[in-house]
Structure 1
Amino acid sequence: MSARPAILVTGADLAPQALALLTEFEIVYAGRTPQEPDLIALCRSHDPVAIIVRYGKVGAAVMDAAPSLRVISKHGSGTDTIDKEAAGARGIEVRAAAGANAAAVAEQALALLLACAKSVVRLNARMHAGHWDKATHKSVELGGRTIGLVGLGAIGLRFARMCDAMGMRVQGHDPYAKDLPSHVQPVDLATLWREADAISLHCPLTPDNKGLLNATSLAACKRGVIVVNTARGGLVDEPALLAALRTGHVAAAGLDSFAVEPMAAPHPFHGEPNLVLSPHIGGVTSDAYVNMGVGAANNVLAVLSSATA
């Protein structure tokens, strides 16, 4: 074991800017697809004082294998892959790099919304196949329509600005949000389901909101609604969404996250003409990679410095 305290990264790399902040530590990488036995073995070998979570899950067994562990720092904003209850019981602090990937994810949400409204993927395929559908195709104009946002944190509010700039009416639901900008109208979920022409999810996944968008809530939405999810796949009941797409109750959906990742092949979503898919890359840009790494590193340093103060 190194004389320097160790930090375990559940991934294969960190941005150089993040590594520059952590020169006093031994950095141990778990690889791109770390499984729980791998993480337990590395914790037993290196007894890290911190874990930076990129991929995989960190539960009680991993924590118990690292008696010196003081902080689990997410390389991003979503901490649903960390057992926060187990961490709290062991006096381990959990931190997220909140807002570090807000611009990237909000832009991905906008890309998916526009792809759905303008049939970008389908028309592209038709054009490459030699078709010219100008006489038969009509897109959805978003200006003047209502977008309903579930979750008004850094990502949701940034996306709200984009939608407002396009002339959309922005409704939002977030029981924890305060001091909302004037262009966001706070509403309850029943109102959002009923009035939104498009719905975009930007909230964390919790035991209380798993399957938030399900057969019941989708049935309460307008026929022809557009659904976008760049948050967590568990927020959406996937069979219910697929059924709503096939009946036309949901006109189109753009998804960047899924209940099980990586998505297995074959998958019921494959080949659906009104479904635009991306492999959970909303926060994966060169800028966000640096921002998330630096944010995660700073969170580690903040917790460790307070513990020794």
Structure 2
Amino acid sequence: MQTTSHKPVVLVTAADLAPQALDMLGRFEVVYAGKQPTEDDVVALCKQHKPVAIIVRYGKVNARIMDAAENLQVISKHGSGIDVIDQAAAAERGIAVRAAVGANAAAVSEHTWALILACAKAVPQLDARMREGHWDKSTHKSVELAGRTLGLVGLGAIGRRVASAGLAFGMNVVAFDPYAKEAPEGVTLVALDALYAESDIVSLHCPLTDGNRKMLDRDAFARFRQGAILVNTARGGLIDETALAEALASGQLRSAGLDSFDIEPMTTPHPFQRIPNVILSPHIGGVSDAAYVNMGKGAAANILAALEEHARDAA
């Protein structure tokens, strides 16, 4: 899309944005980078259009991209995970970084439960067996959730929604979150090792940082309750994927439901594709009809607020 006016430019690292968000950005020229923009694509567009803001939907924003956008004042994530933005580089350049916190919480928590239930009830596997002509009524036993323990690593907007549903299922809910000062009624805050040891289902809802990258490694899985289920709708980098494959193969874990991966798109071929007790989805937990609108509006609102703050500081 070519700039056709002298309006300041907002660059979107995707091919579209919700109409409601576009309405909020009416005084800007919105430029799209395409469905799967490369770093070179984004750099070229930054040099051409000199955006004042970037909305990050796909891909990463690093120092090279920032330096190509000489007028850049704010990088706004279309969602809550800002690990795809080089925050140190942005800080060095005085560029604000914002996230649409909570905008996709309902969507991600619902997808978390889709994966938990699919793992506990072996839904994909039973469907495949039925299509092959099998009737496994006499041999199959699913995991009943009532009375089991759900362990949540992270107790933000998404984790709290997942906890609420767990309580409704009659589960014991424990959580680890070093930043949580209190837990919702019915949820017990515990140490991380205790969570691993006690939980029948472990679900990840924390941001990815340098400090917790590959926190779930061989040692961590060895501390899990044998036969536990792992669900990750957070960030793939939290898990050592080789260690997870080993834990699934050995029976240390019953199954896993994964919506995010260390490298995205997930490389093909990938060992997970050959493991029958892992359920895969392509990082779409936060992609729903309502979340698409909420994340777009949140990203746009953050741009407007950051630019207004920048203007006040410059006055």
Secondary structure (helix, strand or coil) at the match of 1:252 reads: strand
One-letter identity of the residue aligned with 1:277: L
Q: Tell me the equivalent position of 2:157.
A: 154
Report how far residue 248 of structure 1 moved.
0.5
Secondary structure (helix, strand or coil) at the match of 1:270 reads: helix
- Decide which of 278, 289, 297 is 2:281's aligned counterpart: 278
CA–CA separation in structure 2 for the residues paired with 1:261 and 1:43: 23
Q: Tell me the equivalent position of 1:244.
A: 247
Q: How does 1:115-154 map to 2 (within 5 A)?
A: 115-154=118-157
Report how far residue 39 of structure 1 moved.
1.1
CA–CA separation in structure 2 for the residues paired with 1:57 and 1:308: 26
The gaps in structure 1 that reach 5 residues or longer are none
Secondary structure (helix, strand or coil) at the match of 1:17 reads: helix
Q: Tell me the equivalent position of 1:21.
A: 24
Question: Given the alignment of the two structures, is residue 194 of structure 1 paired with residue 197 of structure 2, yes or no?
Answer: yes
One-letter identity of the residue aligned with 2:107: A
Report how far residue 88 of structure 1 moved.
0.6
Identity %: 61
Secondary structure (helix, strand or coil) at the match of 1:269 reads: helix
- Decide which of 220, 225, 229 is 2:228's aligned counterpart: 225
One-letter identity of the residue aligned with 1:48: P
CA–CA separation in structure 2 for the residues paired with 1:224 and 1:80: 31
CA–CA separation in structure 1 for the residues paired with 2:215 and 2:117: 23
Report how far residue 254 of structure 1 moved.
0.3
Per-residue CA distance 1:221-278 (angstroms, 9 max, x = gap):
1110100000000001101000010010000000000111111221111131111111
One-letter identity of the residue aligned with 2:135: W
Query: Cα RMSD (Å) of the superposition?
Result: 0.9
Count residues with an aligned counterpart. 309
One-letter identity of the residue aligned with 2:230: V
**Which stretch shows the higher mean deviation, 79-88 or 122-131?**
122-131
Secondary structure (helix, strand or coil) at the match of 2:162 reads: helix
Query: Runs of 4+ in structure 1 displaced over 3 angstroms?
Result: none
CA–CA separation in structure 1 for the residues paired with 2:274 and 2:128: 13
**Which stretch shows the higher mean deviation, 122-131 or 245-254?**
122-131
- Decide which of 110, 115, 130 is 1:112's aligned counterpart: 115
Question: Given the alignment of the two structures, is residue 41 of structure 1 paired with residue 79 of structure 2, yes or no?
Answer: no
Secondary structure (helix, strand or coil) at the match of 1:152 reads: coil
Secondary structure (helix, strand or coil) at the match of 2:271 reads: coil
The gaps in structure 2 that reach 5 residues or longer are none
Per-residue CA distance 1:50-105 (angstroms, 9 max, x = gap):
00000011011111111211110000010011000000111111000000000000
Q: Tell me the equivalent position of 1:303.
A: 306
Secondary structure (helix, strand or coil) at the match of 2:112 reads: helix
Question: Given the alignment of the two structures, is residue 98 of structure 1 paired with residue 116 of structure 2, yes or no?
Answer: no
One-letter identity of the residue aligned with 2:89: A
Report how far residue 210 of structure 1 moved.
0.5
Report how far residue 183 of structure 1 moved.
1.5
One-letter identity of the residue aligned with 1:147: L
Q: Tell me the equivalent position of 2:291.
A: 288
Q: How does 1:254-273 map to 2 (within 5 A)?
A: 254-273=257-276
CA–CA separation in structure 2 for the residues paired with 1:301 and 1:179: 32
Q: Tell me the equivalent position of 1:89.
A: 92
Report how far residue 203 of structure 1 moved.
0.5
Report how far residue 108 of structure 1 moved.
0.5
- Decide which of 199, 202, 207 is 1:204's aligned counterpart: 207
**Which stretch shows the higher mean deviation, 32-41 or 89-98?**
32-41
Q: TM-score, normalised by structure 1?
A: 0.98
Secondary structure (helix, strand or coil) at the match of 1:147 reads: strand
Report how far residue 128 of structure 1 moved.
1.3
